[in-house]
A and B are shown apart, each in its own frame.
Chain A
């Protein structure tokens, strides 16, 4: 093949196949450049960075929405005929576009729109810092979009780095404060360490399997772990399997860090407490959604090869068995320690950090159920992924709402301690009602959104149990998940008790701050938490669409 035809085929693939499905990332990249240009050029300096960022993100949201609608089986087939393939490798196999990619991108873009409005209202990046702040946020989100669609080891590592490194700088946003710089330092050091360990694991996996392309890796993995006879390491697969296990565990370290799963969660409370509440919201929602998507990508990518029943199928069943136990164990420990750690916290951001850890555990329960049913029971697996997607959708509103309330109250009370919220119901009943809705939803009580999502996760565990798939583990996970819900009840409700029953402190700063704009913000984020608990079928339809990639 001569160079000319190589170039032509590359161009065709890039321009006609890959780039049209890559518009969300392109919009984010263009927004980054625009935000910086507007700050650099004196002519455009009057433009507020937040507005520029908001405009760009709105484009990204529109593209993400049309990508989602263009998928086959979209809940809106009457409006648009399916224009996109159900699954398409982009850029020669580096990325993959499917329903999970489209759904996570849509969530991220939607989150960004709300988030920029939130930061604009709460005022943490002031105008001077706005360009830097939004550049970092958009750059990190770009990495998260890539995390959701990575299909190659290089892209996995690069996406994790792209999502993490800007967020280290975000954690140090309040650069004059000791706590903030300490949070940034801890986050950067632990994060870089986890990424390094992950990279070493990736190198071992790639070295044994001889490829970096996830589906090819899965095929090879299945052959080696299976009877090993027709694999590359003909009769001598014990050594390679040991190296693969080691490499897989090291890679899991990096993913667990991004998910803030125990035992790699210790950074989370410190970073959330030290960084601004706005940054906490970003890390807790966007970063978590992308990390869950990447965990699903890697677990599904390495554990399943479509319906093709060849020599590797039996080996992959063993791989999945290993993954289910690894993820399930991590989920159980993460839930429990996250919820126990939340007791006795006096700082609201720290409490929310432990709550984030616990919710990462619930999400991992869903991942475990999905991986358990993968390839065995396609219908159940689809339902489990649907539950995860739905959970992420509601979690966006719950946690954004929680952090928005913390930020608004900080601006009013000048404190983020739970004790400072005492007796708030007398001066600010609306905020207490909103906080009540968010916290009760985080517990998972009906009739709020958190209940529906938790119910879906637990019911996919039940489905695995009734079908006898990994029954003992799933049973244990279900019991632990249920117990944790009860444990979590008390510390969330304690905050509400302080807000309503405790007498307000004598020295409370009278805050004549205007309330309608922050109030509108909190309402806009909290109302979906209530509505999604009752009218959940709309979001569920899209979550189901996200689940179709697993079939």
Chain B
């Protein structure tokens, strides 16, 4: 019965098998790509900033996966505490970056009366 259900729905293996590092890397990759697309596509400067947060978060998921002793399986290697500490500092640096980027955006808004990044086209050539 188990096998029948598992073959009917391949995804069922996801909840019967233990997870691996690769599972986390998939999540990290999706977050990262969402962030990159968000930065490339959004015209609202705040949307672009949100994309940056997603990108950094995707990288952080990778670090946590590599650092986790729990996820390590047969013959894999771990970054240990280093990975977790890096992720911690990335959270801090992201907060600092967000503060400055937001101040810059508000300043842009004060001068241009918009947050549409496509309107930032005075400088070119």
Give chain A's interface residues, CB within 8 Å of chain B. 153-154, 157-158, 161, 165-166, 168-169, 172, 175-179, 181-186, 188-189, 192-193, 195-197, 199-200, 202-204, 206-207, 210-212, 232, 269-270, 273-274, 344-347, 350
Contact = CB atoms under 8 A, between A and B. Distances in A.
A244 to B, nearest CB: 14
Contacts, number: 139
A182 B86 contact: no
Interface string B74-86: 0001110011011
Interface string B30-66: 0010011001000001001101100110110011011
Given A210-B78, A350-B125, A161 B97 contact: yes
A192 B105 CA distance: 13
B45 A200 contact: no
B123 A185 contact: no
B22 to A, nearest CB: 11
Contact of A232 (B39, B66, B77, B82): B77
Q: A-B pairs with the 6 shortest C-beta distances?
A: A196-B55, A203-B62, A207-B66, A210-B77, A270-B123, A199-B59
21 contacts: A154-B86, A157-B93, A165-B96, A175-B111, A176-B111, A181-B110, A181-B111, A184-B107, A185-B104, A185-B105, A189-B45, A192-B49, A192-B52, A192-B101, A196-B36, A196-B55, A200-B62, A206-B63, A206-B82, A210-B79, A345-B125
A193 B90 CA distance: 14
Contacts of A274: 122-123
Nearest to B93: A161
Nearest to A234: B75
A203 B97 contact: no
Contact of B59 (A181, A200, A212): A200
Contacts of A186: 120, 123
A179 B122 contact: yes
A175 B107 CA distance: 7
Interface residues of B, number: 47
B107 A172 contact: yes
A346 B123 CA distance: 12
Interface in B77-125: 77-79, 82-83, 85-86, 89-90, 93, 96-97, 100-101, 103-105, 107-108, 110-112, 117, 120, 122-125
Contacts of B78: 210
Contacts of B96: 161, 165
Contacts of B83: 206
A181 B100 contact: no
Nearest to A203: B62
Question: Which of A157, A179, A193 has the most C-beta atoms of chain B within 10 angstroms of its own C-beta?
Answer: A193
A85 to B, nearest CB: 25
B101 A168 contact: yes
Given A200-B59, A206-B66, A350-B125, A182 B108 contact: yes
